[in-house]
Amino acid sequence: MNGRSEVEQVHQDLVPLIESFSERQTEAKEAIKKLMVAERRIFCAAAIRVLAQTALSPGTRYLAQLLSNERLLGPGLLDTVNCRTEEALGAARAAVEAGLPIQNGLEFALKIALQEQPSFANTAKILRALDLLAASAPAGWWDGTQLEVMNYPDNKVRSRAALLIGRCSKSTIC
């Protein structure tokens, strides 16, 4: 079984658990945790997809909190191999709606990525972090990071940063 079909299978297993979730229902919590323990990377990708596609509910709140508590939310959102940008953006919005503070973790990941050697994978991670922060953070989120981003050697990163600077200067939300 390849990675995409494994993610799809876990996604199909998660959706009914989340849709019928009740805070008092320990069986659903145990089933969700069992899926997570089986294969964390695949579970994380499937859970990100569920958060992106499912309306805010007790189930999605639980799932977002679980990902956050297990330190899977940030890395899952930034995973450009197993998670599409649309899914990451939707899941980030869902996490913010659920009251999770994701901004600091994303900013930290961005600062670390900016210090690494330029590569295709690192550029993809930086672009993803910029997109996620622009979609989920308040307008002044990157006052301290702007210079670092604009000095990054990759043209795509500098171009995306310039676009976001323009958007953020005109809006209260980037």
* Residue-wise DSSP of 120-145: HHHHHHHHHHHHHHHHHSBGGGGTTT
- Distance between start and end Cα atoms, the chain: 40
Which residue, 100, 116, 138, sits at the end of a domain?
100
Q: What are the tokens at 118? A: 């330029």
Q: Say whether both 61 and 106 belong to one domain.
A: no
State the burial class of residue 92 (Cβ atoms within 10 Å of its Cβ: 0-12, 13-18, 19+): buried
Same domain for 115 and 86? Answer: no
Reported pTM: 0.83
Residues 52 and 132 in one domain: no
What's the confidence (pLDDT) of residue 104?
Answer: 85
Whether the CB-CB separation of 44 and 87 falls below 8 Å is answered with: no
Give the chain's domain count. Answer: 2
* Position 24 confidence tier, pLDDT thresholds 50, 70, 90: confident
Residues 58 and 80 in one domain: yes
Give the residue-averaged pLDDT of 68-84.
Answer: 92
**Structural domain containing residue 36:** 1-100
Q: Of the candidates 77, 21, 82, which has an alpha carbon nearest to the alpha carbon of residue 52?
A: 77
| pLDDT over threshold 60, residue 143 | yes
Average pLDDT across the chain, whole number: 87
Judged by average pLDDT, the poorest of 107-111, 142-146, 156-160, 169-173 is 169-173
| Domain match, 109 and 78 both | no
SS3 153: coil
pLDDT at res. 7: 87
Is 2 a residue whose pLDDT tops 70?
Answer: no
